[in-house]
Structure 1
Amino acid sequence: MTLIGRTRARGIETLSLDSPANRNALSAALVGELTGALTDCAKDTGVRATVLTHTGNTFCAGADLRDPPHPDALVHLLRQIVELRKPVVARVTGHVRAGGLGLLAACDIAAASTPSTFAFTEVRIGVAPAVISLPLLPRTDPRALARYYLTGERFEAPEAARIGLLTAAGDDVDAVLEPILDGLRRAAPRGLAETKQLLTARVLETFDRDAADLTALSARLFASPQAREGMTAFLERRDPTWVL
């Protein structure tokens, strides 16, 4: 069973996270298949840009707690999106949680429908948004991240746009994206590649400097007693023991 849908229209390759049974959570299998699809896009001269979207009412619920990817695999996927010499555009019409926000931050452009919601839920299960910080910290308002990282609060699409997580939000996300995709189709492939390299240099410096430390942190936290309690509580639909 494929977990990534693929379609193409006028040079735009659309990759759809298609695992609605677990709300498109980042399982080892989904991360591996998305990595392969992006590799294909990189090699295909017929692809001008890639749109990353989803089926169901959730773009991505974060890591699959039953079959999580290795932190190294997630780092590789996020870096692959940043390094791809073609623009990657996120299209969101639903909810985004935890690791899914790392996917948004890695994309060059991200747009969402107004009803979409967002939350960094890691602290609520006893871990931290470690690996996904690689693209998030250089691109998102630090004061806002401090609030949403530390509290796990849910926030809406206009706020996500205000803090730099999204490029734009609107009632009709396809109307928002139409002029953006038209602009990408009109741009020269070499011009797009070189311009993207300019825009992502600072993000890639963060990967070079911090990826190993944040990968190790993620592995330690997910193996901790608090994380085991937090993940068990989540799966059992109850509060973890530390909730006051």
Structure 2
Amino acid sequence: MESVVNAAHAHGITTLTLDSPANRNALSATLVGELRAALAAAGADPQARAVVLTHTGGTFCAGADLASPCDPADFLALLREITDLPKPVVARVTGHVRAGGLGLLGVCDLAAAGPGSTYAFTETHLGLVPAVISAPLLPRLDPRAAARYFLTAEPFDAAEAVRIGLLTLHAQDVDAALAPVLAGLGKAGPEALAETKRLVTAPVREALARDGAALAELSARVFGSAEAREGLTARFERRDPSWAR
């Protein structure tokens, strides 16, 4: 089988590319496993100063692979490993992000998007709960905005994502906008960079350590509920679920 996470190395930057466009880079067991392995390799590479996480296709990550979802505990482990990585992780987004994909943005240290990207916490429309991803996101997001978008599943654009704290920046040319960011990381001392990352990620790491296991259990329980089965069936059948008004 071809890899769904590809790694490249240049100028002290390891770029990890989610490359499963057929399912919109959804969080399958395979993708989560390969991404965890690639991050571990980048963390152990003395030549890598930072990691860029990007994607192929028009979607950065569509959230859980509904046909073959990963174990919530494995997804939780991935999120914790990104926050614990001793090197900054920078998300580069040029497409859409949905549900669990927003959790990946939440644990990245910096996140930049190009034009046309959109965002939505789609879980409630499927009878699901944004459980595990709430741990890294609630410490970062504007509380009123988090309540609105978690509850309503409304889509929003990159400018709004910056305003509420989901993204660091957005620009017409995301690579040009990221150039000074990556240059700054390249000039930083590796040990100083690691310790500074620990400072700025403290609230996210604390939330994941405190609440992660319970949230993973909640996610698994809700995913097996009758309401979720109806929501997922409706999605596959391209109809509204029975509760929709």
Interval containing the TM-score (normalised by the shorter chain): over 0.9
Distance (Å, rounded) in 1 between the aligned partners of 2:28 and 2:237? 19
Deviations 1:45-65 (A, max 9, x none): 011000000000000000000
Gaps of 5+ in 1: none
Q: Partner of 2:66 in structure 1?
A: 65
SS of 2:119 mapped into structure 1: strand
Distance (Å, rounded) in 1 between the aligned partners of 2:51 and 2:26? 20
The count of aligned residue pairs is 244
1:221 aligns with 2:222: yes
Query: Structure 1 length as normaliser, TM-score?
Result: 0.99
Q: Cα RMSD between the aligned structures?
A: 0.6
Q: Partner of 1:16 in structure 2?
A: 17
Deviations 1:128-185 (A, max 9, x none): 1000111101111111010000000000000000000000001111111010000011
1:49 aligns with 2:57: no
Deviations 1:115-137 (A, max 9, x none): 10000000000011000111101
Q: Residue type matched to 2:44 in 1? A: K
**Aligned 1:109-188 pairs, distance under 5 A:** 109-188=110-189
Asked if the contact 1:93/1:116 (under 8 Å) is kept, the reply is yes
**Aligned 1:225-236 pairs, distance under 5 A:** 225-236=226-237
Deviations 1:199-222 (A, max 9, x none): 111111111211121111101100
SS of 1:39 mapped into structure 2: helix
Q: Partner of 1:204 in structure 2?
A: 205
Query: Structure 2 length as normaliser, TM-score?
Result: 0.99
Give the fraction of aligned pairs with identical amino acids, expressed as a percent. 62
Q: Residue type matched to 1:230 in 2? A: G
Q: Residue type matched to 2:70 in 1? A: P
Q: Residue type matched to 1:161 in 2? A: V
Distance (Å, rounded) in 2 between the aligned partners of 1:130 and 1:102? 10
Asked if the contact 1:53/1:59 (under 8 Å) is kept, the reply is yes
SS of 2:113 mapped into structure 1: strand
1:74 aligns with 2:82: no
Distance (Å, rounded) in 2 between the aligned partners of 1:126 and 1:176? 38
Q: 1:114 Cα deviation (Å)?
A: 2.4
SS of 2:51 mapped into structure 1: strand
SS of 2:201 mapped into structure 1: helix
Q: Residue type matched to 1:147 in 2? A: R
SS of 1:171 mapped into structure 2: coil
Q: Residue type matched to 2:41 in 1? A: D
Asked if the contact 1:114/1:158 (under 8 Å) is kept, the reply is no
Distance (Å, rounded) in 1 between the aligned partners of 2:234 and 2:108? 32
Distance (Å, rounded) in 1 between the aligned partners of 2:106 and 2:57? 21
Moved over 3 A (4+): none
Distance (Å, rounded) in 1 between the aligned partners of 2:237 and 2:20? 21
Q: Residue type matched to 1:85 in 2? A: P
Distance (Å, rounded) in 2 between the aligned partners of 1:36 and 1:63? 19
SS of 2:170 mapped into structure 1: strand
